[in-house]
Amino acid sequence: MSELEFRPGLADVPCAESAISYIDGKRARLEYRGVAVETLARESSFEETAWLLLKGDLPSQRELADFDDRLRHHRRIKYKLEDLIKCLPETGHPMDALQAGVAAMGMFYPSRDVSNAQSNWDSVVRLLAKLPTLVAGFHRMRNGDHPINPRDDLGHAANFYWMLFEREPSPAQARVLDACLILHAEHTMNASTFSARVTGSTLANPYTVISSAIGTLTGPLHGGANEEVLDMLDEIGSLGNVRPWLEHAVATKKKIMGLGHRVYKVKDPRATVLQELAENAFAESSRPAKYELAMELERVAAGILGPKGIYPNVDFYSGIVYQSLGIPTDLFTPIFAIARVAGWLAHWLEQLKNNRIFRPEQVFVGKTDVPYLPLGKRP
């Protein structure tokens, strides 16, 4: 029997040293390069936050202007890549289309020499700029519509909204969508980030690195929880059914989507600030019925599950926000990827600085010294 300690899922096993983000689950603290995520969501932009994650410090006015200009310049995709997306099944999931599109991008922009800092930065800019175009383009084309060209006069989040609907978001809508991107941009060593670092450790090109991370995010245990929150709220149905539904769910040990987190033992700080910014967007029309349901579920759950350290995480409200913006449910996880690519790329660049290929050990539990029995003698 092996003497190695086996921890399923590598639970609590450090796999890298990182200076990118920090979580204190007991104090509801998430920081990007030392800056509180709530501050970034309220005061910053996704473009500035991406620079912070990638470079390590907040940009100067000139640096941010130049970075923003480059992102706007690289939003368009090659027409052959657009043709490839047109050939994908209309019934396919947008995450699969995004993964295929990103992998194909690597053929248009060969970047095999990851020791070339300038080439790496060019790839970073292209991936940040083009992922929204891929997602919006596939969504339009699967519905039989032509993709909408990006607009250089709109910010990152507002331009994505434009490419989806061919209309500009209101300032409040653009702001809450931008905040969603900021809040999902990075979250320490989660499954998709680990996948990116493992792939990056082989010195694979950055498009392959991000494609592998997107593939990991497609799994329902990682991305997609906000979709399941909406299904759960539909199942609850009414304010009067919240308490009996929750009590039954707890009694039968049913998983309650959007509540609880492996790291946070208090309310996720991302959920708190997202709820605050969502109120501004809801004020332009009216509060969605699901939002009222979610707030009541949070209130009731605080008394039942709060003592166990189970509180809302960011997925609890993000799906409601996306739905209020008119965004289809199956685009929720691709939007997660549009945001998280900033964190993935930051980890990829950090991995390359002091790289060592990942080669973990296993605990072998199979047979040994099994004799080979010729085929004719087998029963």
3-class SS string, 180-224 = HHHHCCCCCCCHHHHHHHHHHHCCCCHHHHHHHHHHHHCCCCCCC
- Bridge partners (DSSP) listed for residue 272: none
Q: Out of 68, 178, 268, 315, which one is annotated catalytic? A: 315
Provide the CATH topology of domain 225-324. Cytochrome p450-Terp; domain 2 (1.10.230)
**pLDDT for res 1:** 39
Q: How confident is the model at residue 122 (pLDDT cuts 50, 70, 90)?
A: very high
Token readout for 20 is: 């990118």
In percent, the amount of the chain with pLDDT more than 90 equals: 87
Residue predicted with more confidence, 255 or 150:
150
17-221+334-353 fold: Citrate Synthase; domain 1 (1.10.580)
Catalytic, 73? Answer no
pTM of the model: 0.94
Position 11 scores a pLDDT of 83
User: Strand, helix or coil at 134?
Assistant: helix
Q: Is the dihedral of CA 188, 189, 191, 197 positive or negative?
A: positive
Cα(91)–Cα(114) distance, rounded to whole angstroms? 36
Residue 2: pLDDT over 60: no
Q: pLDDT class for 48, splitting at 50, 70, 90?
A: very high
Domain boundaries, the chain: 17-221+334-353, 225-324
What is the mean predicted confidence (pLDDT) over 312-318? 92
Name residue 21's amino acid: S
> Catalytic residue at 261?
yes
Q: What is the mean pLDDT of the chain?
A: 94
Name the active-site residue from 184, 261, 268, 347: 261
Express each pLDDT in 157-175 by its tens digit: 999 999 999 999 999 999 9
* Rounded mean pLDDT, 24-40: 95
Distance (Å, whole) CA 259 – CA 246: 11
pLDDT reported for residue 285: 74
pLDDT of 7 reads: 86
Tell me the pLDDT band of 332, cut-offs 50, 70 and 90.
very high
Q: How would residue 223 be classed by pLDDT, with cut points 50, 70 and 90?
A: confident
Q: pLDDT tens digits for 241-252?
A: 999 999 999 999
